[in-house]
Amino acid sequence: MIQDIFPHHYHNEYRPEPPKPRDYVFGYEDGRVILKSEDWFFRYEDLPEGTEVTYLFAMDDHNCYYWEGLASLSHVTISRMDLRPFQPRFTAFAAIAGWQIVQWMNNNRYCGRCGRENKQDSKERAMRCPECDRVVYPTIMPAVIVGVLNKETDQLLVTKYSQSHSAYNRYALVAGFNEVGETIEETVSREVKEETGLDVENIRYYKSQPWPFTSTLLLGFYCDVKGSAEIHIDEDELKLAKWADRDEEIDSMDNASLTTEMIQNFLKGKEL
């Protein structure tokens, strides 16, 4: 998955310090990611002398920063989704994690209570209002990825999103966001029922994944269909949902996502 960058290490502690020449600098233009060349990112030494940059986090022994003016330099851009297969992977993960933080800062430039311009807090990753002292932390939205299994037929429920819901056109699993006052297990049951009409049981946690593309924390679960296995899709959400066999070809894109890993577990014959 995209955050699996060993032996590199992502340090998300908020410890701002002056940039060094070889530190990374990220920038974003019209929703796209700015690169120095087609296969590499900017370093602080590439910027005009004395440029003030915003601290993000550290990757290995190098700090990572954001500079709003990066597009003023000679550069190329790629779409955010092009970071999924980008190599080396640790730089791709750093760039998309940086995008999540920058989006949060831009979306909270002004205080939602009194309207004053927020300031970056000096001690923690937060936006603080100098007038009313309201603090806003980074947005992280919990969502579920659900692998529904039919134990009687040894099949996995796979889906494809409707075009009105998502531009992603490959196979996926049932997915959805947690609602107010709802346990994450209740989210699993509700999303499966809403999207496919199926009831489930034996809900079991698999693993989680940070997904900076949508400021989401994904929580993966497997579960078993309960009762009827007849599918009734919500056409606003899905254009297809079907039971797939283990020997079926299921195109689920690259290995960047939790969804792909969960589908591959099934295709490899793992006990789920």
Q: Which one of 3.40.50.720, 3.90.79.20, 2.10.240.10, 2.70.50.30 gives the CATH number of domain 10-129?
A: 3.90.79.20
CA distance 136 to 121: 10
> Average of pLDDT values for 195-209?
97
> Average of pLDDT values for 134-147?
97
Please, which pLDDT band fits residue 261 given cuts at 50, 70 and 90?
very high
Q: Where are any strands of DSSP class E within 84-215?
A: 119-120, 127-128, 135-136, 141-150, 155-161, 174-177, 199-211
CA distance 24 to 26: 7
CA distance 63 to 44: 10
- Residue 221, pLDDT > 90, answer yes
Structure tokens at 92: 């791709």
- Residue 188, pLDDT > 60, answer yes
Provide, rounded to the nearest whole percent, the portion of the chain with pLDDT above 90. 89
DSSP annotation of 171 reads: -
Q: What is the pLDDT of residue 35?
A: 97
Please, which pLDDT band fits residue 186 given cuts at 50, 70 and 90?
very high
Compute CA 209 distance to the chain's CA centroid, rounded to the nearest angstrom: 8
Compute CA 261 distance to the chain's CA centroid, rounded to the nearest angstrom: 15
8 Å CB contact between 2 and 45: no
Kindly tell me the sign of the dihedral angle through the C-alpha atoms of 7, 13, 18, 19.
Answer: positive
Which residue from 62, 61, 68 is spatially nearest to 24, judged by alpha carbons? 62
- Residue 165, pLDDT > 60, answer no
Mean pLDDT, the chain, integer? 94
DSSP string, 2-70: TT--TTS-EE---------TT-EEE-EETTEEEESBTTB-EEGGGSPTT---EEEEEETTEEEEE-TTG
Domains 10-129 and 141-267 share a fold: yes
Domain boundary assignment for the chain: 10-129, 141-267
Provide, rounded to the nearest whole percent, the portion of the chain with pLDDT above 70. 98
Radius of gyration for the alpha carbons in the chain, expressed in angstroms and rounded: 21
Superfamily (CATH) of domain 141-267: Nucleoside Triphosphate Pyrophosphohydrolase (3.90.79.10)
What residues pair up with 177 in beta bridges, in sequence order?
143
The residue whose two tokens read 């992603």 is: 168
What pLDDT, in 10s, does the model give residues 22-73? 999 999 999 899 999 988 999 999 999 999 999 999 999 999 999 999 999 9
CA distance 257 to 209: 8
- Residue 167, pLDDT > 90, answer no
The angle formed by the CA atoms of residues 87, 92 and 95, to the nearest 5 degrees, is 150
Q: What share of the chain is helix, strand, coil (3-state, %, to 5)?
A: 20, 35, 45
